[in-house]
Structure 1
Amino acid sequence: MDFSKVIQERRSVKKYDQNVKMTKDEIEKIIEIASLSPSAWNLQQWHYLIVTDEDKKQQLQKCAWNQPKVSEASASIVVLGDLHAYERAGEVAEEWAQKGYVPADGKKGLVDSIYSFYENDQTKRDEAIRGASLAAMSLMLTAKDMGYATCPMIGFDPEAIRKEFNIPQNLIPALMITLGKGEESRERASRRSPKDIITYETF
């Protein structure tokens, strides 16, 4: 599909065909493409909890204010941000040296820079949410391009999800995405015009 058409036709779909079951291969293909999203130092702060089991979806629905689409979609995905992504700095430095992005003797400096940047807990959280959000948008656009519908969700109790699904403390539930076959027939809500959302140079 033409990219501009993907953007224009993507909708937040609330109702799904419960008879459609997506395969792991289909879901993982979407994830693979979505994971080409950008991230600082290529640390890739995202992780996905993918729930397809019917009983597990019911449990997740309870953590999401009982919204029916959570259990009706083929998969409900909790997009997580990793607070410890910076700990992969060594892997990044090694790959960058192999590809000639940094000289071999520059690996330690790169690692030190990354660790220094992530010393602040707020920075770790901001980057985890930022990375997860970039990947989430890519996931939704990829799904649309492959003929599937999605809906981003913030209506859930993150701590309830953490407890119910044993999510490690370093992973933050940033948002949820329902995924499956469905369509939105209502007219799209209006968008603010460029003149309302652009400021050039300075305020």
Structure 2
Amino acid sequence: MDFSKVMQERRSVKKYDQNVKMTKEKIEKIIEIASLSPSAWNLQQWHFLIVTDEDKKQLLQRCAWNQPKVSEASASIVVLGDLLAYERAGEVAEEWAQKSYVPSDGKKGLIDSIYNFYEDIQTQRDEAIRGASLAAMSLMLTAKDMGYATCPMIGFDPEAIRKEFSIPDRYVPALMITLGKGEETRERASRRSPKEIITYETF
């Protein structure tokens, strides 16, 4: 599908065909493409908790204010941000040296730069949320391109999800996405015009 058409036709779908079960291969293909999203130093701060088991979806629904779409969709995905993604700095430096992005003797400097940048806890959280959100948008657009519907969600209890699904402390739940077959037939809500949301140079 043409990209502009994907953008224009993507909607937040709240009702899904419960008879449609997506294969693991289809879901993983969407994730694979979404993982091409950008991230600082290519640290790829995202991780995806994919819930397709019916009992587990019911459990997740209870953590999400009992919203029906969580269990009705083929899959419900908790998009997680990795607070400790910077610990992969060594892997990044090694690959960058192999690809001549940095000289071999520049690896230590790169690693030090990454660790210094992520020294602040707030920065770790900001980057985790930022990276996860970039990947989440890519996931939704990829799904639309492949003929599937999605809906981003912030209506959930992150600590309940952490507890019920044994999420390690290094991950922060950024948002949820429902995924499956469905459509939104209501007229799209209006969007603010460019002149309302653009400021050139400075305020």
TM-score (structure 1 length as normaliser)? 1.00
Counterpart position of 2:176:
176
- Could you say which residue in structure 1 is the equivalent of 2:112? 112
Displacement of 1:149 = 0.1
C-alpha deviation, 1:53, in angstroms? 0.1
Task: Report matched runs for 1:38-187 at 5 Å.
Answer: 38-187=38-187
For the residues of structure 1 that align with 2:126 and 2:99, how far apart are their CA atoms? 29
1:72 alignment partner AA: E
Distance in 2 between residues matched to 1:107 and 1:202, nearest whole Å? 37
In the TM superposition, what whole-angstrom CA distance separates every residue of 1:95-143 from its partner, at most 9, and x where no partner exists?
0000000000000000000000000000000000000000000000000
Name the SS for the 2:172 alignment partner. strand
4+ long deviations beyond 4 Å: none
Cα RMSD (Å): 0.2
What letter corresponds to residue 163 of structure 2 in structure 1? K
Give the Å deviation of 1:3. 0.2
Give CA deviations for 1:57-85 in whole Å, capped at 9, x if unaligned. 00000000000000000000000000000
- Offset at residue 17 of structure 1 (A): 0.2
Give distance in 1, aligned partners of 2:8 and 2:107: 43
For 2:190 and 2:58, the matched residues in 1 are separated by: 33
Q: Which letter maps to 2:99?
A: K
- Which letter maps to 2:107? K
- Any idea what the Cα deviations from partners look like across 1:126-172, whole Å, max 9, x if unmatched? 00000000000000000000000000000000000000000000100
Give the number of equivalent residue pairs. Answer: 203
Query: Which residue is equivalent to 1:15?
Result: 15
Aligned-pair identity (%):
90
Distance 1:24 1:108 in 2: 39
- Provide TM-score, normalisation by structure 2: 1.00
**Are 1:3 and 2:16 counterparts?**
no
Match of 1:31 in 2: 31
CA distance in 2, matches of 1:185, 1:44: 35
Q: Which amino acid aligns with 2:103?
A: P
Cα separation, 1, equivalents of 2:198 and 2:93? 37
Q: Which blocks of at least 5 consecutive residues in structure 1 are unaligned? A: none
